[in-house]
A and B are shown apart, each in its own frame.
Chain A
Amino acid sequence: MMYSKKLLNKAFMILTAIGLALWLSGCAEGEAPTSPVNLSGTISVPDGVASDGSKVTVNLYHAWALEGPLRHPVEFIESFETAAGEYSFSFDYPIENGEGLLVYAWIDLDGDGVHCTPKIRADRAGLTVVEDFPATDITADVMLDVPCAGPDWFYPPAPG
């Protein structure tokens, strides 16, 4: 069978374009799967600590993420602000980025916007491990009683 050169060129161009489109589409990133979570609970401070009006920053973390030598605890998910007392927050938990859920919070008692300065060590922090997870509706109470502590202060806890 004989084909004209023009026809062959056209066919080649079409095939190249299709191949390129397929190749590039194979690299496209899809939406990361998530699961809805409704979180609520109570954030409290020790007796004698005045917390009225103080901003509380809550950070949500996976308890663990990745595998092998890269496996590590305390992988950040997202953050929100609230105040001491009852709170609630809904978010989309990224299923493939890690496992478990930690609720860490710190309270800005002196209102300076940072979690302690080198000289003023009043702000308090706490962390709660959500035991019954995964779940959609979760209660996590957090006691903020350790000054100037990051999440690694609490998790993973020391053995025993």
Chain B
Amino acid sequence: MRIQIIIVTCCVLLLGACGGNPEPGVVVDGQRLAVVDMHLHTGRWEWTPPRFRERITERIPRGFKWVGEYLTDTWLSGDGILGFLDSAGISAGGVFGLYSPHTTGNAPNEFVAEQIATDPTRLFGFASIRVDQWNVDSDEQLAAFEDALTNLEGIIGVKLAHAHQQFRFDDPRYYEIYEIAGRLGKPIYAHAATSPNPGTRTEPPYTNPYYLEEAIRLYPDTIFILGHTGWDSYYRKLTDVDACIDLAQRYANVYLEPGALGAKRAAEVLPDFVQRIKKGKVIDKLIYGSDGPQFPGYLRSHLEAFVGAMQDADYTTEEIRMILSDNFSRVFDMPKFEL
């Protein structure tokens, strides 16, 4: 065991010695722009289902998978996330709660609040709600959800992932969630896409945003941010991207987020994606996010890929600034981020 601890310590020291943090922001056309990454995950190994543990330790060589627990708990802590933001030059981030025992596990709202308290000026929380026994305890869960949105410090929005949480977009039994979020002024980030994670639903009622349109229409005071903008990472296609863009064009309360579209898995479709956003005239609706931290270097590589794709598609500096931070500030009613 002592040898194992020494190996982990050496690895961490080596990683830490890989270089200092870059200057904050990204340089576009000679201007340095602030970046907010609205899509970051927290959690702990103990709340991670066995099947997902296997997936997140896929990259670790056989025989060394025991480090998964240490790395998960370290990287997904408030300090860990801040370290990743610093190493990517990102000013601030949204940190997601989630109750997804079928797939990626739980990140309870109270735990999220503890992590963002590490630096409330840079970390902003998104609370979630447990839905897997809705016929039995929906009243209790809705009360806890409203309490979290009202009383937990630093909670600025809601995180839902219908495909992970196994409930249909069009099931009216869950509409009270949207009502509460709208009434309390907390925008909802709703995962609107498939996922490569095991156990996640891939059928249209759980992934296609048109199934959410009734709720979008019924709750005009509720902001819906369509997570991943329909990027079908399971089949590696832009399956529901145009549907998301269409909804963002037609509804004032619909926004988009491109999490994981800057990842290597999406490299072939990213140029097409940014072209569709530009052609659809929804640049003012796209709020940058990465779906990190994932692994060291991910936040930076995702950001560089995404900014590079926007530059290749002739986005103006002002358009890139909107996507990287200004749209976030506007939707979440915050001052603009300056460097």
**What residues make up the interface of A, taking CB atoms closer than 8 Å to B?**
23-24, 27, 66, 69-76, 114-118, 148-153, 155-159
Docked CA distance A69–B135 (Å): 18
Query: Is A118 touching B214 in the complex (CB atoms < 8 A)?
Result: yes
Query: Using Cβ atoms and an 8 Å threshold, which residues of chain B touch A116?
Result: 170, 205
A11 CB, min distance to chain B CBs, angstroms: 21
Counting chain B CB atoms within 10 Å of each CB, which of A66, A70, A116, A158 scores highest?
A70
The 4 tightest CB contacts between A and B, nearest first, are A72-B101, A158-B135, A70-B101, A72-B132
Which of A23, A73, A76, A159 contacts B132, CB < 8 Å? A73
A73 and B133 in contact (CB under 8 A), knowing A118-B170, A150-B171? yes
A136 CB, min distance to chain B CBs, angstroms: 26
Interface residues of B in 183-226 (CB under 8 A from A): 199, 203-205, 210-211, 213-214
Query: Using Cβ atoms and an 8 Å threshold, which residues of chain B touch A152?
Result: 131-132, 134-135, 166-167, 171
A100 CB, min distance to chain B CBs, angstroms: 14
Query: Is A157 touching B49 in the complex (CB atoms < 8 A)?
Result: no
Docked CA distance A42–B47 (Å): 39
A117 CB, min distance to chain B CBs, angstroms: 8
Q: Is B300 an interface residue (CB 8 A)?
A: no
A75 CB, min distance to chain B CBs, angstroms: 7
- Interface residues of B: mostly helix, strand, loop or mixed? loop
Query: Using Cβ atoms and an 8 Å threshold, which residues of chain A touch B210?
Result: 117-118
Query: Is A115 touching B134 in the complex (CB atoms < 8 A)?
Result: no
B62 CB, min distance to chain A CBs, angstroms: 5
B193 CB, min distance to chain A CBs, angstroms: 16
Q: Is B65 an interface residue (CB 8 A)?
A: yes
Q: Is B19 an interface residue (CB 8 A)?
A: no
Query: Is A118 touching B211 in the complex (CB atoms < 8 A)?
Result: yes
Interface bracket on B: 20 to 34
Which of B49, B167, B204, B205 contacts A66, CB < 8 Å? B49
Which of A66, A115, A149 contacts B203, CB < 8 Å? A115
Q: Is B25 an interface residue (CB 8 A)?
A: no
Query: Using Cβ atoms and an 8 Å threshold, which residues of chain B touch A69?
Result: 47, 101, 106, 108
- Interface residues of A: mostly helix, strand, loop or mixed? loop
Query: Is B199 touching A76 in the complex (CB atoms < 8 A)?
Result: yes
B171 CB, min distance to chain A CBs, angstroms: 7
Docked CA distance A152–B170 (Å): 13
> 12 A-B Cβ contacts within 8 A?
A24-B63, A27-B65, A70-B49, A114-B203, A115-B205, A116-B205, A149-B171, A151-B166, A152-B167, A157-B135, A157-B136, A159-B136
Query: Is A70 touching B167 in the complex (CB atoms < 8 A)?
Result: no
A75 and B205 in contact (CB under 8 A), knowing A118-B211, A152-B166, A158-B136? no
Query: Using Cβ atoms and an 8 Å threshold, which residues of chain B touch A73?
Result: 132-133
Query: Using Cβ atoms and an 8 Å threshold, which residues of chain A touch B204?
Result: 114, 117
Q: Is B102 an interface residue (CB 8 A)?
A: yes
Q: Is B105 an interface residue (CB 8 A)?
A: yes
A139 CB, min distance to chain B CBs, angstroms: 25
Q: Is B285 an interface residue (CB 8 A)?
A: no
Q: Is B168 an interface residue (CB 8 A)?
A: yes
Q: Chain B residue with minimal CB distance to A121?
A: B170
Query: Is B203 touching A70 in the complex (CB atoms < 8 A)?
Result: no
Q: Chain A residue with minimal CB distance to B102?
A: A72
Query: Using Cβ atoms and an 8 Å threshold, which residues of chain A touch B134?
Result: 152
Interface residues of B in 110-137 (CB under 8 A from A): 131-136
Query: Is A71 touching B101 in the complex (CB atoms < 8 A)?
Result: yes
Query: Using Cβ atoms and an 8 Å threshold, which residues of chain B touch A115?
Result: 203, 205
Counting chain A CB atoms within 10 Å of each CB, which of B105, B136, B199, B213 scores highest?
B136
B22-63 interface code vs A (CB 8 A; 1 in, 0 out): 000000000000000000000000010110000000000011
Q: Chain B residue with minimal CB distance to A159?
A: B136
Query: Using Cβ atoms and an 8 Å threshold, which residues of chain A touch B105?
Result: 70
B202 CB, min distance to chain A CBs, angstroms: 11
A70 and B106 in contact (CB under 8 A), knowing A115-B203, A152-B166? yes
Counting chain A CB atoms within 10 Å of each CB, which of B131, B203, B214 scores highest?
B203
Q: Chain A residue with minimal CB distance to B47?
A: A69
B159 CB, min distance to chain A CBs, angstroms: 17
A129 CB, min distance to chain B CBs, angstroms: 13
Query: Using Cβ atoms and an 8 Å threshold, which residues of chain B touch A27?
Result: 62-63, 65
